[in-house]
Structure 1
Amino acid sequence: MGNVYVADTSNHRIQLFQAGSMNGTTIAGVTGISGTDPYHLNYPYALKLDSQLNLYVTD
């Protein structure tokens, strides 16, 4: 099994769970803090990973 990306909507972040790991790493957003600047997310809810591994977030 590969990596799993999660839109953690309530915590305003995107997490990456690497194969074999039970702990996620925040790769976008700031845990628990919403915002509209480039460093924050505001209820992200959808993810798309393309064939070149670019991750798109609907926020």
Structure 2
Amino acid sequence: MYWGSAALGLGRACEEGEGCAQSFEGARGWYSRAVTGLSIAVREGESWYRGALKSAEAGLARVG
């Protein structure tokens, strides 16, 4: 799902403070959305999103 990938990028931006104020709370929200969207994509057979899903899960774990 494209929106899952977009949410992953926004999560990274919030976590690192790139283009916005650094916000772990914001990052947590975006990473959570990314996990949801990318999980749906992988379940629907779009296996190329597995790497992005792992990145989103790792980001969510970092900002807890």
TM-score over 0.5 for the pair: no
Pick the TM interval, shorter chain.
Answer: under 0.3
Larger relative helix fraction: 2
Structure with more contact order per residue of length (Cα contacts < 8 Å, sep ≥ 6): 2
Larger strand percent: 1
